[in-house]
Structures are given as structure tokens and as C-alpha cells.
């Protein structure tokens, strides 16, 4: 039993259209009734909402393959053609060019001179029309005549509206519109065609023959080229020529050589969705606007430099190198350009920056931000400028310490080494400035910081507070390097003139590795503070590390040392409370 197809809902279509629902086009495509589609298209055309206009664009950008929609396309076409709507006619230019797609076919050709047949490859446009509806003017139906079906199935996915002959006519008529416009208003012609060319995609040129299938595009871009021959229906390659021979030869070349033409070509180079169209625009710019490119505005040049297409980037880089305004370019503009992500372009920009910009034009904040960039060329440039500035006018240690936020892994070790040479001296050393380098997410930075710390000449090497803080590190590489260094220090304790550094080193090592011998070192640290209260600020963090040990003997020994210290030196109670805020018994004792 045959089940009749579901009838499309006029009520649903009306609701979607009135409410600007995104399901509108999907619902519209289910209708195939000539009379209904004709009346609805008139309503669609008369709607003044920007949404309704945007739906026309979406409709034309989709495949024109909905059964019965010939009337929709024709009504829309005639309306916008009569209204001289250049933008919408540009969308029709692309849509009509997509209607014709030929395929290669081998045919037998007879050679009368040799009396032989040989195979020749030709382009063939197969008939692939969506099954049309019966004519609404066919006369009255008989009593037993079946009603015209509301929907017609498509037998092939690649079928499209109209016959091949009608498609060729639509393409010729569309191009005729722009051809006439080029004589009346050359500037409007360039703007309209530029916008239309931007709508072509790489899918429109999936195969080589698809290039010459685009009738209007071939006229607009290659009309005067000797490699192209135009017939009444198609554009073809001339005998003895190949697609590689194509170079820009546009219709109305004088219009493209004007200032408006240059603007349109720059728009195509930066916004076209097809690489073929972008290359055409770039070649035309290089040929006809070489001198004018040296003065184009920086926003346009920045957009081209940041393009995804390497060929556009290469073109923009060439233009940038010859730009006349590089020496007077604002620092903010330079920094925006250096914020691009393409490494090849950034290398060029950094070289130009070194040549045209003096380090004195940047303030300290800009230097640090430049140095902290992730791309290698930018980070290297910033580090060079920072070192040059610091040699002439030293930066405050707080500014140098900001390099702990360095983002470039390849240069992180070098940047850390330089920074700690500046702020890691005895005169400039401050715990809070150097500790951030050990907490970096970059292993290269942490490794360089540990190399600085484990040198006996480093002020951090003798700072128990820094070592105590490092016990809380979440990074195993820092912890393992710290333990290895502490073991060496404890082993060499007998060779040191002062035993105190080896004692607190033994305490920290004991917390990391354990061992009964370390319990004595905990008591010795407490005794050292009791004898010399001036050591409290340096050694109390060591006792704090021991009190937080996961090993009970070390915790008990450390707590006993703290209790004895508070008993013998009551004046250190506040310092102990600050170093060990978790010891609530100090508060209870004070209240008692």
C-alpha cells in the first residue's frame, strides 16, 4: 500500500516567517506548489525586515535543488534586478555560477587524414534537473485526473533547478547586469563584484574544470586573457593552453586600476573565502598598485598579516617591508602587530622593530609585556631590548621580578638566568622577588632557578626561609633538586666554618627523607634561636617546616623545641605566632 507523502504545513511556515524562526528556510523547502510559492515569495520580497533579507542570502548560498522552487528563484531574481540591488545581484552571481558543473568525458573522434579514431577528453554538462512540476497553465484537469503532488522526490543528490539551457541563460543575464553597471558606474561595479567574489569558496573549485564553469567569475577576472574562449554557453580553455597559464586579465581593467579598485582588491585579498580568488587579487595588486601599497592603512595591513593563508601573509610581509610609515609608527601599533600568531610574520616584524624602534620609546611595563610574550621571536626581541635598557638605566627589582611570568619555554632558562643575576645579588636579594621563579609552570625556568640557588655564591643558598618555602613546592623536579643539594650540604658539614647552615639544612632534609639523626638538628635550631634571638626571622621557618612533618617523631621534637623557645624567650612569642599560626596553645596560654 502506497502511503501519500506528508503535506507541508502552511501554518508552520507562516509562524516561522512571522517569528523570524531559524527553521523558516527548512520549512519553505518542503513546499513545491507553484501558486503557493509564487504568492509567498511576493510576501517575502515585500517584507522590510533585515532578517527577511538575510534569509534570501542564506537561500541563495544553499543548494538550489528544492523541487518546484524555480518560481522562487525567478521572482527573487527579477525583483532585485529591477531594484538595481547590487549586493543581492552579487549573491545571484555566485548562485548562478554554481548551477553549472561539467564533468570530463572521453569521446571518440575520427581523423579523416589518418582514417583512424582516437579518444579525446571533453567537458560535458549532464542533464540533472530536479523533476519539474506540471505547468499551472496546462488547462482544466479531467474528472479522473490525479491532483499535482505537493512534493516531488529527487532521484539524485546532485540535481539542481532548471534545465542546462535555462541555467546558461541565468548566468548570461546576471553577468549582463554587471557588465552594464561597469559602464554606468565603474566604482559601484568594482564594489559589487568584489563582494561577490568574496563569496566563492574553495569547494567551488574542487576540480580544475570547475574554474572555467564559473561563467561570471571568468568574465570578471579573466575576460581579456588569451587562454580563455567564451561560447554562448560556456567558458573554455583555448587550444594549447592550460589553467597554469591564467593571469589576471579582468573585465574593465581601468576600473580595477583606480583607487576604488585597489580598495576592492584589498578587500578580496583579506576576506575572500577562496584561495583562487585571493591569489587573483594579490597578483593584480602587485601588478597594478605596487607604488600605492606602500601607503595603505595599518589596520588593513594588520588584517592581511594575520590572515590564515600563508600566501596572503607573504604578500602582506612584502608590503610591510616597503611601507613608508614604519619609522613613525606608534608603539601601540607595533605592539598590536607583534601580537599576531604567525611565526614567519613575527620574525619579519621583529627585525623591522629592531631597525625602526629605539628601546627608549618603550616604558618598563611595555618592555616586560613584550618579553613575557609566548612566541619565540617576540620574546627574544623583548629580552634583547630589556637587557639593553637595563645596561643603560637599571630597572627596579620589582620590574625585573615580573619576568617570573615568562611564557616562552625556549627562552625561559635564559630569561631566568639574566633576571636572577640582577635581583639575586647580595645587594638586591629579596625572598618574594625570587620565589616566583621556583613556582613557574615552565620546567626550564624552574631548572634555571635551582641552578642559581644551589651555587654557594648565591644569597639564596644561605637563606633558610627560602629553602623552607621550597618544601611546599608541588613540582617534583624542584623537590628532588632541593633534596640532592641538602644532602651534599649535610655531607660537607664538617668542612664548613659555621655549623648552623648545615644544621638547618639537616632539619629540612629530615622532613623530606626522615632519619633519627635529624631530631638532634631540630633541637639545635631551637637552641641557636634561644641563644641569638636575631636568628629568629631566619630560623623559625625551619622549625615551622619540622612541625608540619608527616613523621610524628619530627613533629614532637619540633614542638618541644618551640615550647622551650617560648619559655626561654617570651619576647619571641609574636614571631613564633606569625611563623606558626596553627599553634592554638599559644593563644590559650596567653589567655590563661
3-state secondary structure of 283: helix
Q: How does DSSP classify residue 534? A: G
Q: What percent of the chain has pLDDT over 90?
A: 27
Task: Provide mean pLDDT across the span 363-378.
Answer: 87
pLDDT at 591 over 60: no
Q: How does DSSP classify residue 129? A: B
pLDDT at 5 over 60: no
- Of the pLDDT bands very low, low, confident and very high (cuts 50, 70, 90), residue 173 is very high
CA–CA separation, 462 vs 484, rounded Å? Answer: 16
What per-residue confidence (pLDDT) applies to 37? 92
CA–CA separation, 363 vs 335, rounded Å? Answer: 12
CA–CA separation, 563 vs 584, rounded Å? Answer: 12
What per-residue confidence (pLDDT) applies to 361? 85
What per-residue confidence (pLDDT) applies to 134? 52
Comparing CA positions, the residue from 98, 248, 119 lying closest to residue 167 is 98
Q: Which residue has the cell 549573491?
A: 91
Q: Among 109-113, 442-446, 551-555, which range has the highest average pLDDT?
A: 442-446
Residue 304: Cβ-neighbour burial (10 angstroms; 0-12, 13-18, 19+): buried
CB atoms within 10 A of CB 544: 21
CA–CA separation, 207 vs 151, rounded Å? Answer: 33
pLDDT at 579 over 80: no
More confident residue, 310 or 144: 310
What per-residue confidence (pLDDT) applies to 510? 53
- Of the pLDDT bands very low, low, confident and very high (cuts 50, 70, 90), residue 558 is low
pLDDT at 381 over 80: yes
Q: For helices 376-392 and 409-423, what crossing angle results, to 10°?
A: 10
Q: What is the DSSP string of 462-524?
A: G-HHHHHHHTT-S-HHHHHHHHHHHHHHHHTGGGSS-SHHHHHHHHHHHHHH--THHHHHHHH
Task: Provide mean pLDDT across the span 551-573.
Answer: 68
Read off the C-alpha cell for 188.
559601484
Q: Which residues of 318-338 are buried (b: 16+ CB within 10 A; e: fewer)?
A: ebbeebeebeebeeeebbebb
Task: Provide mean pLDDT across the span 484-508.
Answer: 54
Task: Provide mean pLDDT across the span 407-436.
Answer: 86
Beta-strand pair 116-124/103-111: antiparallel
Q: Among 6-10, 232-236, 381-385, 482-486, which range has the highest average pLDDT?
A: 381-385
What per-residue confidence (pLDDT) applies to 187? 94
Those residues with Cβ within 8 angstroms of residue 234's Cβ, 6 or more apart along the chain or in another chain: 100, 102, 123, 125, 168, 212, 213, 215
Beta-strand pair 116-124/228-230: unpaired
Q: What is the DSSP string of 25-77?
A: HHHHTT---HHHHHHHHHHHHH---HHHHHHHHHHHHS-S--TTTHHHHHHHH
Those residues with Cβ within 8 angstroms of residue 472's Cβ, 6 or more apart along the chain or in another chain: none
- Of the pLDDT bands very low, low, confident and very high (cuts 50, 70, 90), residue 90 is very high
Task: Provide mean pLDDT across the span 498-521.
Answer: 52
3-state secondary structure of 532: coil
CA–CA separation, 319 vs 564, rounded Å? Answer: 76
Task: Provide mean pLDDT across the span 146-155.
Answer: 42
pLDDT at 119 over 80: no
CA–CA separation, 387 vs 207, rounded Å? Answer: 54
CA–CA separation, 420 vs 435, rounded Å? Answer: 11
- Of the pLDDT bands very low, low, confident and very high (cuts 50, 70, 90), residue 549 is low
Alpha helices in 83-185 (DSSP H): 86-99, 164-184
What per-residue confidence (pLDDT) applies to 406? 86
pLDDT at 573 over 90: no
Contact, 37 vs 133, CB < 8 A? no
What per-residue confidence (pLDDT) applies to 468? 73
- Of the pLDDT bands very low, low, confident and very high (cuts 50, 70, 90), residue 352 is confident
Provide the β-strand partners of residue 103. Answer: 124
CA–CA separation, 585 vs 592, rounded Å? Answer: 10
What is the chain's Cα-based Rg? 39
Task: Provide mean pLDDT across the span 121-126.
Answer: 68
Mean residue pLDDT of the chain comes to 80
5: left (phi over 0), alpha (psi -120 to 50) or beta: beta
Task: Provide mean pLDDT across the span 489-514.
Answer: 50
Residue 442: Cβ-neighbour burial (10 angstroms; 0-12, 13-18, 19+): buried
383-405: pLDDT as tens digits: 888 888 888 788 888 888 888 88
pLDDT at 145 over 50: no
Low-confidence winner among 18-32, 183-197, 322-336 (lowest mean pLDDT): 322-336
Low-confidence winner among 47-61, 308-322, 475-489 (lowest mean pLDDT): 475-489
- Gap between the terminal Cα atoms of the chain: 98
Comparing CA positions, the residue from 154, 176, 151, 306 lying closest to residue 232 is 176
Read off the C-alpha cell for 366.
611595555
184-222: pLDDT as tens digits: 999 999 999 999 999 999 888 888 888 888 999 999 999
Comparing CA positions, the residue from 183, 165, 199 lying closest to residue 89 is 199
More confident residue, 104 or 589: 104
Comparing CA positions, the residue from 318, 332, 383, 339 lying closest to residue 361 is 332
CB atoms within 10 A of CB 539: 24
More confident residue, 237 or 540: 237
What per-residue confidence (pLDDT) applies to 151? 40
- Of the pLDDT bands very low, low, confident and very high (cuts 50, 70, 90), residue 96 is very high
Residue 515: Cβ-neighbour burial (10 angstroms; 0-12, 13-18, 19+): middle
What's the pTM value of the predicted model, to 2 decimals? 0.70
pLDDT at 567 over 80: no
What per-residue confidence (pLDDT) applies to 148? 44
- Of the pLDDT bands very low, low, confident and very high (cuts 50, 70, 90), residue 6 is low
CA–CA separation, 293 vs 89, rounded Å? Answer: 30
More confident residue, 508 or 417: 417
Amino acid at each position: 500500500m502506497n502511503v501519500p507523502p506528508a503535506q507541508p504545513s502552511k501554518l508552520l511556515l507562516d509562524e516561522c516567517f512571522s517569528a523570524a524562526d531559524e527553521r523558516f528556510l527548512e520549512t519553505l523547502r518542503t513546499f513545491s506548489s507553484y501558486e503557493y510559492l509564487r504568492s509567498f515569495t511576493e510576501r517575502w520580497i515585500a517584507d522590510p525586515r533585515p532578517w527577511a533579507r538575510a534569509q534570501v542570502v542564506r537561500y541563495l548560498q544553499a543548494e538550489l535543488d528544492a523541487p518546484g522552487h524555480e518560481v522562487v528563484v525567478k521572482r527573487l531574481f527579477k525583483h532585485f534586478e529591477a531594484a538595481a540591488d547590487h549586493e543581492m545581484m552579487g549573491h545571484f552571481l555566485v548562485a548562478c555560477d554554481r548551477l553549472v558543473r561539467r564533468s570530463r568525458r572521453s569521446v571518440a573522434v575520427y581523423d579523416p587524414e589518418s582514417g583512424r579514431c582516437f579518444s579525446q577528453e571533453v567537458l560535458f554538462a549532464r542533464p540533472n534537473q530536479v523533476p519539474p512540476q506540471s505547468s499551472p497553465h496546462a488547462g482544466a484537469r479531467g474528472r479522473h485526473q490525479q491532483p499535482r503532488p505537493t512534493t516531488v522526490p529527487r532521484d539524485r543528490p546532485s540535481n539542481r533547478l532548471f534545465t542546462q539551457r535555462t541555467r546558461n541563460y541565468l548566468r548570461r543575464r546576471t553577468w549582463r547586469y554587471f557588465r552594464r553597471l561597469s559602464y554606468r558606474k565603474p566604482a559601484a561595479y568594482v564594489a559589487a563584484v568584489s563582494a561577490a567574489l568574496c563569496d566563492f569558496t574553495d569547494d567551488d573549485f574542487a576540480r580544475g574544470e570547475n574554474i572555467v564553469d564559473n561563467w561570471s567569475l571568468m568574465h570578471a577576472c579573466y575576460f581579456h586573457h588569451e587562454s580563455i574562449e567564451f561560447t554562448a554557453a560556456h567558458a573554455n580553455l583555448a587550444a594549447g593552453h592550460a589553467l597554469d597559464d591564467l593571469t589576471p586579465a579582468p573585465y574593465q581593467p581601468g576600473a580595477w586600476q583606480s583607487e576604488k579598485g585597489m580598495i576592492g582588491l584589498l578587500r578580496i585579498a583579506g576576506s575572500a573565502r577562496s584561495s583562487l580568488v585571493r591569489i587573483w587579487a594579490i597578483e593584480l595588486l602587485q601588478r597594478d598598485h605596487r607604488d600605492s601599497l606602500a601607503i595603505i592603512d595599518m589596520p588593513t595591513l594588520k588584517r592581511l598579516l594575520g590572515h590564515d593563508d600563508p600566501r596572503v601573509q607573504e604578500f602582506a610581509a612584502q608590503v610591510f617591508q616597503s611601507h613608508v610609515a614604519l619609522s613613525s609608527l606608534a608603539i601601540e601599533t607595533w605592539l598590536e602587530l607583534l601580537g599576531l600568531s604567525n611565526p614567519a610574520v613575527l620574525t619579519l616584524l621583529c627585525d623591522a622593530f629592531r631597525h625602526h624602534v629605539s628601546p627608549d620609546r618603550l616604558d618598563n611595563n611595555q618592555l616586560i609585556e613584550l618579553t613575557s610574550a609566548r612566541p619565540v621571536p617576540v620574546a627574544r626581541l623583548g629580552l634583547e631590548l630589556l637587557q639593553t635598557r637595563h645596561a643603560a638605566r637599571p630597572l627596579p627589582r620589582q620590574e625585573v621580578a615580573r619576568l617570573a611570568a615568562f611564557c616562552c619555554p625556549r627562552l625561559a632558562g635564559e630569561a631566568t638566568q639574566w633576571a636572577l643575576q640582577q635581583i639575586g645579588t647580595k645587594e638586591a636579594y629579596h625572598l618574594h622577588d625570587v620565589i616566583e621563579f621556583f613556582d613557574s609552570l615552565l620546567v626550564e625556568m624552574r631548572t634555571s632557578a635551582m641552578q642559581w640557588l644551589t651555587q654557594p655564591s648565591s644569597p639564596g643558598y644561605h637563606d633558610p626561609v627560602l629553602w623552607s618555602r621550597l618544601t611546599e613546592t608541588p613540582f617534583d623536579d624542584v623537590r628532588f633538586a632541593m633534596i640532592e643539594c641538602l644532602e651534599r650540604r649535610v655531607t660537607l658539614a664538617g668542612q664548613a666554618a659555621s655549623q648552623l647552615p648545615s644544621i638547618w639544612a639537616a632539619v629540612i632534609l629530615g622532613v623530606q627523607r626522615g632519619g633519627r639523626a635529624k631530631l638532634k638538628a631540630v633541637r639545635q635550631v631551637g637552641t641557636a634561636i634561644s641563644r641569638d634571638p636575631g636568628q629568629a626571622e631566619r630560623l623559625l621557618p625551619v622549625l615551622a617546616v619540622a612541625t608540619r612533618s608527616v613523621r610524628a617523631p619530627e613533629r614532637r621534637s619540633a614542638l618541644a623545641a618551640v615550647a622551650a623557645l617560648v619559655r626561654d624567650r617570651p619576647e619571641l612569642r609574636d614571631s613564633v605566632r606569625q611563623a606558626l599560626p596553627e599553634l592554638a596553645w599559644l593563644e590559650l596560654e596567653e589567655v590563661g
